């Protein structure tokens, strides 16, 4: 969040620019026709169950892993480094003048799939980083004299490792051998419930050899089909017990269902109690940067969560304190501040302390600093009556130790603790990013992530397309990454500026915010991007700041607040 009026942060637009360039360079070629009944998968060790046998990876970039896997017990993990893009290849025997369908399941960083030496037109396809398994598919026709082709996967320079599994070169038998025909997989074991929210239950189970997917059943009815060994069932009622089973699938059929487990949803979504189903968050400025100076009592009633901005770093690593800017706020005293906090809470509102901001320098990067952070935030909660903490660290975050710090704080504060986060757009583009990892690590105690949909430039949506900020599509397609990446809908909010002066770029009119909320929760008022499903439990919206909102006559809260509270 910006302290200076209208001051833009450094904009980071590499993700959108790179995606646009690559999309132009690596187009999928639609291929030929349907395979016949006699066709086979000509790839060998297609699921990496025999390590890297039959595969060659550049610069030692490849290894097999047991998790995540799409099917079976192993998958490829290949890591780009320096000028190496982690290219893994296999030479596959094929027939001349024949059509083949090439496919693979990928996850993680940017991933590419292609074939060379086809004798006609070589092909490739790609996807940007993906938090879940995604199938890449293309096809090619061999030349008159072609008896082998080289198929490959690779990543992209400077990007995260990618995973690949279940490669297929499906077509006429080239005579080079392939994997044996699949058999119906065994019944999954180890089904358990790692976490729950008020509206969702997360499930996990052991991988099954030979499986290419899994079906999830709730109360005997199939509700999900997934590629990995975990799933989150959403849209559930609070404080309710549900029975779940899982089966394994492949091309040979479906296994018997697993032993049932029971998952019971929480009384509230994420951390905190007595929050409305749909909530509005506003940041309150403890400084004067040209926006309207407010006391906590001045914040309009449309705001359900008020994030006091900001806590200050101390000389002790990880520790924070709070210094009310009495002089800058017209003589606002600490006693008046505390009384106003109590009055808001009596009216059903939550008041939390925000850590970070554009210039925040709090570093939680060791066990000691994690303990200091938890102890100092808890002390502020006791001193000022804060209901929780907001994490708005825009200059780096260590997922391991911030997770440790917030879990320690939760143990001290109890189930009523409010934990919110306000990452920048780049921080939530992939589950491999530390902010996203932290949110998933504390999913069982997390209240809401209000990503900042501004000061960012163009970004990738969950469909792999590039969207420009300031539009319905930018809000919905980027929210989809979080909604499909593991967060419960009740843990996702849309963070936007309250006025054109509240951010350097990315302001959207309240009507656009409301359209995005309707698109995500009801499937209406969408732009060119429309989610594959709706998320009626979406938490709501956030703005920077209540002060800039007041400067503009509270136009934002007057329009967005009632709309949020009227969501389904």
- Is residue 94 a contact partner of residue 169, using CB atoms and an 8 Å limit? yes
Residues in contact with 451: Cβ distance below 8 Å, sequence separation at least 6, in sequence order: 422, 423, 424, 425, 427, 428, 478, 479, 482, 493, 494, 495
Enclosing H/E stretch for 115? strand 111-116
d(CA 451, CA 422): 5
Residue 341 burial (CB count, 10 A)? 21
Cis peptide before 29 (omega within 30 of 0): no
d(CA 246, CA 204): 9
Cis peptide before 310 (omega within 30 of 0): yes
How many CA atoms within 13 Å lie on the side-chain side of 558? 8
Residue 163 burial (CB count, 10 A)? 23
d(CA 402, CA 433): 13
Annotated active-site residue 484? The verdict is no
Residues in contact with 41: Cβ distance below 8 Å, sequence separation at least 6, in sequence order: 168, 169, 170, 178, 179
Residues in contact with 315: Cβ distance below 8 Å, sequence separation at least 6, in sequence order: none
**DSSP states along 202-237:** EEE----TT--EEEEEETTEEEEEESSSEEEE-SPP
Residues 49, 358, 394, 484: which is the catalytic one? 394
Q: Is 83 exposed, middle or buried (CB count within 10 Å of its CB: 0-12, 13-18, 19+)?
A: exposed
d(CA 205, CA 221): 18
- Is residue 1 a contact partner of residue 109, using CB atoms and an 8 Å limit? no
**DSSP states along 78-109:** E--BTTB---EEEEEE--TT-EEEEEEEEEES
Span between the terminal Cα atoms of the chain, in Å: 30
d(CA 46, CA 520): 38
Distances (CA, A) of 475 to 70, 425, 470, 560: 30, 10, 8, 14
Q: Which residues are catalytic, by number? A: 394
């Amino acid at each position: 969040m910006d302290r200076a009026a209208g001051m833009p942060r450094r904009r980071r637009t590499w993700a959108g620019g790179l995606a646009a360039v690559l999309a132009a360079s690596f187009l999928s070629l639609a291929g030929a026709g349907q395979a016949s009944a006699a066709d086979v998968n000509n790839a060998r060790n297609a699921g990496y169950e025999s390590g890297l046998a039959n595969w060659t990876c550049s610069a030692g970039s490849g290894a097999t892993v047991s998790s995540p896997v799409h099917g079976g017990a192993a998958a490829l993990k290949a890591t780009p480094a320096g000028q190496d893009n982690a290219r893994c290849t296999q030479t596959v025997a094929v027939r001349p003048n024949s059509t083949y369908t090439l496919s693979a399941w990928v996850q993680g960083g940017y991933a590419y799939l292609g074939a060379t030496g086809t004798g006609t037109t070589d092909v490739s396809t790609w996807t940007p980083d993906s938090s879940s398994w995604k199938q890449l598919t293309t096809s090619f026709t061999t030349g008159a004299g072609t008896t082998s082709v080289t198929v490959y996967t690779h990543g992209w320079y400077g990007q995260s490792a990618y995973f690949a599994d279940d490669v297929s070169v499906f077509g006429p038998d080239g005579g080079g051998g392939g994997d044996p025909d699949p058999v119906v997989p065994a019944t999954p074991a180890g089904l358990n419930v790692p976490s729950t929210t008020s509206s969702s239950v997360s499930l996990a189970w052991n991988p099954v050899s030979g499986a290419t997917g899994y079906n999830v059943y709730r109360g005997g009815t199939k509700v999900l089909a997934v590629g990995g060994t975990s799933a989150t069932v959403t849209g559930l009622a609070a404080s309710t017990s549900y029975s779940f089973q899982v089966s394994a699938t492949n091309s040979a059929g479906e296994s018997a269902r697993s032993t049932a487990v029971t998952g019971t949803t929480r009384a509230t979504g994420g951390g905190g109690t007595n929050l409305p189903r749909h909530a509005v968050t506003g940041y309150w400025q403890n400084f004067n940067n040209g926006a309207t100076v407010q006391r906590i009592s001045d914040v309009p009633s449309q705001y359900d969560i008020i994030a006091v901005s900001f806590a200050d770093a101390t000389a002790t690593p990880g520790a924070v304190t709070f210094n009310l800017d009495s002089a800058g706020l017209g003589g606002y005293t600490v006693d008046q501040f505390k009384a106003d906090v109590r009055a808001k809470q009596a009216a059903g509102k939550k008041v939390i302390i925000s850590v970070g901001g554009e210039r925040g320098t709090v570093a939680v990067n060791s066990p000691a600093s994690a303990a200091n952070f938890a102890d100092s935030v808890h002390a502020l909660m006791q001193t000022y009556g804060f209901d929780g903490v907001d994490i708005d660290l825009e200059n780096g975050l260590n997922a391991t130790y911030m997770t440790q710090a917030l879990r320690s704080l939760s143990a001290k504060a109890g189930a009523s603790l409010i934990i919110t986060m306000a990452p920048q757009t780049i921080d939530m583009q992939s589950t491999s990013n530390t902010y996203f990892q932290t949110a998933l690590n504390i999913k069982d105690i997390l209240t809401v992530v209000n990503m900042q949909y501004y000061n960012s430039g163009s970004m990738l949506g969950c469909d792999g397309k590039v969207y420009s900020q300031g539009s319905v599509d930018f809000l919905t397609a980027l929210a989809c990454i979080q909604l499909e990446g593991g967060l419960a809908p009740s843990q996702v909010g849309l963070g936007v500026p309250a006025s054109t002066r509240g951010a350097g770029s990315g302001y959207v009119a309240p009507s656009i915010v409301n359209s995005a909320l309707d698109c995500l929760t009801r499937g209406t008022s969408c732009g060119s991007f429309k989610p594959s499903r709706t998320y009626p439990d979406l938490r709501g919206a956030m703005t920077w700041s209540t002060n800039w909102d007041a400067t503009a006559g509270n136009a934002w809260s007057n329009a967005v607040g009632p709309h949020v509270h009227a969501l389904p």
